Chains A and B, each alone.
Chain A
Amino acid sequence: MEEYIYYVWLSLVAGISSDVKLSLMRLFGGPRALFEAPEGDIIQAFRQVTEGHRFGQGLRRLLERDLLPADRAITRAARSGSHVIPLCSPAYPSLLKTIKDPPIALFGRGDVTLLKTRCVAIVGTRRASPYGRWAAAEIARRLARLGITIVSGMAEGVDSAAHEGCLAADGKTIAVFGTGLDVCFPKSNQGLCGRIAEKGLLLSEYAFEESGRPEYFPVRNRIISGLSESCVVAEGAVRSGSLITAGLAAEQGRNVFALPGNINQPGSAGTNLLISEGVPPITSLGGLIELLGLQDAADEVKAGLSEAESGLLNYVRSCGSTSREYILAGCGMPAADASSLLICLELKGLLKLSGTQVYVQS
Chain B
Amino acid sequence: MDAILIQILNGLDKGGAYALIALGLTLAFGTLGIVNFAHGALFMLGAFGAVSVQQLLTISKRVKDESITFFDAYKEIPYLEIWWGDTGRMIIDYAVPISILFVIPFMLLIGVLMERGLIKHFYKRTHADQILVTFGLAIVLQELVKAYFGANPIPTPAPAVVSGSAPVGAFFGLGEDLVYPWWRLIYLLASGLIIFAVFAFLKFTTFGMVVRAGMADRETVGLLGINVQRRFTIVFGLAAVVAGVAGALYAPILPPDYHMGMDFLVLSFVVVVVGGMGSLEGAVAAGFLLGILQSFASMNEVKSIIPGIDQIIIYLVAVVILLVRPRGLMGREGVMED
Is this pair of chains taken from one and the same complex? Answer: no
